[in-house]
Each structure stands twice: as structure tokens, then as C-alpha cells.
Amino acid sequence: MAERSDLPPEMAQQEPLPSGPGAAAILSAALFVFVLGFLTFLAAAAEGAKEWLNFQNRVGPLSGKTTMAGVVWVTSWPLLHFAWRRREIPLTPILVLAAALILAGGLLMFPPIFERVEP
Amino acid sequence: MELTSREAWGLVHGIVLGGFFLVAFAGVVVGLWSFRGPVTAEGVKERLRRLWIGTWGLAIVAWAAVVTGTYVVYPWYRAGPPEGTTDLSQYPRSFLIGNPDTDLWHKFAMEWKEHITWTTPVLTTAVAFIVSYYGWRLAYNSKMRYAALALFILAFAAAAIGGILGGLITKKAPIL
């Protein structure tokens, strides 16, 4: 961060903002990716899960996968935001965790991986 | 040069919305990358307004693209043919799966595209939030700025995969 003396006066007077809300946005987005990948893998492996995720017939299990991942996202984001809104959360471990979640989710929704577990 | 309503929706989803996201990404990512201190108050105001419009605009476009794709175009793609149908050209999914020379266009291409592209609007929304929340402070917070950039680039990668595969699938099995 720049020294506050480097900032234009109008900005130097404003309070710095903690990293918590940014970390919350990043981590909850990463959670969405992971949950979507996980549900994709689960639907491929278990016929029961695939049927349960069929929220809308015309769209099929994709409707349930994206809806449930979306529920996790819109739930976790405000929870994390309010928990961390005044806190300076170390970004590096959050970014590492987010990267791991996104990588795992991305792999789980990659067809050569999830199609291996199809019955 | 007429289009059916289904072709028109496919155009809206893929070319208008998806294409716009892919092209406009370049401008917004440059704006985010170059948003570095030291800045003047006037300069940051002007650049921040463009970043705000760019990131939220692309988030909205990305949401519109995945929602039209999933809930308008995709049902037409995956609709099953009535029993006894021999001409599967009106049923793209069945058409692709029914031939071992084309089944990977569904089993790999569409299966990947339909999932990965949903990450684009979510990641882009997170970027738009970071830009809005931190505002000018992003110019002096390189870690948060690079994190936002990384999410944005991942969003673009997912959209690019979807766009390329979607275009190729449409060529193989158009929705008429």
C-alpha cells in the first residue's frame, strides 16, 4: 500500500478499507465453482443424485447443479462478508484456498474426469 | 436471410451476449491492469467510473448469456425425439450422440461447455464487487487488484471455452 502522504489529500482523508469483504467475495465465488464441479461429479456417479438435481425437466440436472451452487454462493457471500467486514483478512491463504477450490471444481466438471464415474 | 426464432435466440446467446463479453473483456482488463498509483483524484474518478461500468456491465452480460443459454437454447438442444423418429436433425443432442463419429461433440464439448460457462458470471460479479467496494484504493492495493485480475482472466477463459465449443457444436448440429 502507498504511504498516505502519496495520496491526493481528498483520498488521504478517507479511511482505509479492510480486506475482509474482498476476501469474502473471492472465497464465495470459488465455493460456487467447487460446488458446481462437485455436483457435476456426483450426478455422474449416482443416478439418484442426478434425478434429485432435475429441478426442471426441460433443462435436466444442470438446473439443479447450478441452482444449488448458486444457493451456496448467495448464502456464503453475505455470511462471510458480515463476519469479515471489519477484519484485515490475510489475502494469501484465502487466494491459495480459492485457487484450490476453483482448480478442484474445474477438474470435477471436466468430462474426461466425471464421465469416468458414470455407471 | 431469415432466421427461425430458435436460430435468433442462439444468435443472441452466442454472438450478441457471449461475443460482446469476449470482445469487451479486453478493454476492461486493460483498465483494471493499468489502475495503479500514483493517481490524481480527477484521474481516478474518471477511470473508476469506466471500470465500474465495464465490470458490472460484463457481469450483467455474462448472466444474461448463461441464463439464455441454459433456459432458452439448451432445452431445444437436449429435447428428445418422439419414438420412431429417424431424422434426428431437429434434435441436436440425439443427433450427435447417435453417431460414434460425432458423439464426443456432446459427451465432451457440450458437457464441458454447459458447466464451465456458469463460472463466468459468478467470477465477474466478484470482480465487479471488488472494484465497487475498494474503488480508488485498488490503485494502491496490488494484491487485491491482482486477485481481481486473476478472477477476471479465469472468467474470460471459461467464456472463451464456452464460446469456441458452442460455435463448433452449432456448426455440427445447429438448432433450427
Please write the tens of the pLDDT for every residue from B112-138.
999 999 999 999 999 999 999 999 899
Across chain A, mean pLDDT equals 93
Q: What is the ipTM of this complex?
A: 0.94
The string of pLDDT tens digits covering residues B21-59 is: 999 999 999 999 999 877 788 888 889 999 999 999 999
Q: If DSSP codes are grouped into helix, strand and coil, which group holds residue A56?
A: strand
How far is A46 from B170, CA to CA, in rounded Å?
30
Question: Do you find a cis peptide bond into A90, omega within 30 degrees of 0?
Answer: no
Name the nearest CA neighbour of B119 among A88, A13, A104.
A104
Give, in order, the Cα–Cα distances in Å from B41 to each of A16, A17, A73, B135, B145: 16, 18, 35, 12, 18
Containing structural domain, residue B96: 5-79+88-172
CB contacts < 8 A, A to B, total: 96
Cβ contacts of residue B95 below 8 Å, gap of 6+?
Answer: B88, B89, B102, B173
Which chain A residues touch B69 with a CB distance below 8 Å? none
Cβ contacts of residue B149 below 8 Å, gap of 6+?
Answer: B29, B32, B33
The string of pLDDT tens digits covering residues B62-117 is: 999 999 999 999 999 999 999 998 888 889 999 999 999 999 999 999 999 999 99
Q: How many CB atoms lie within 10 A of CB A86?
A: 10
Q: From chain B, which residues contact A within 8 Å (Cβ)?
A: 37-41, 44, 70-71, 74-75, 78-79, 107-108, 111-112, 114-116, 118-119, 122-123, 125-126, 129-130, 133-134, 136-137, 140-141, 143-144, 147, 150-151, 154
How far is B38 from B44, CA to CA, in rounded Å?
10
| CA-angle at A58, arms to A57 and A60, nearest 5° | 60
Max CA pair span of chain A: 65
Question: Could you tell me what percent of chain A has a pLDDT over 70?
Answer: 94
Domain count, chain B: 1
Q: If DSSP codes are grouped into helix, strand and coil, which group holds residue A113?
A: helix
Whether B153 and A64 have beta carbons less than 8 Å apart is answered as no
How far is A36 from B115, CA to CA, in rounded Å?
8
Q: What are phi and psi of A74, to 5 degrees?
A: -75, -15
How far is B26 from B45, CA to CA, in rounded Å?
21
Whether B107 and A115 have beta carbons less than 8 Å apart is answered as yes
**Has residue A104 got a pLDDT over 80?**
yes
pLDDT at residue A2, rounded to an integer: 46
Mean pLDDT (whole number) for A32-48: 97
Beta bridge partners of A56: A60
Are B126 and A25 in contact (CB < 8 Å)? Answer: yes
What does DSSP assign to residue A13?
Answer: T
**B70 → closest Cβ in A16, A19, A62:** A62
Whether B117 and B159 have beta carbons less than 8 Å apart is answered as yes
Name the nearest CA neighbour of A35 among A8, A68, A2.
A68
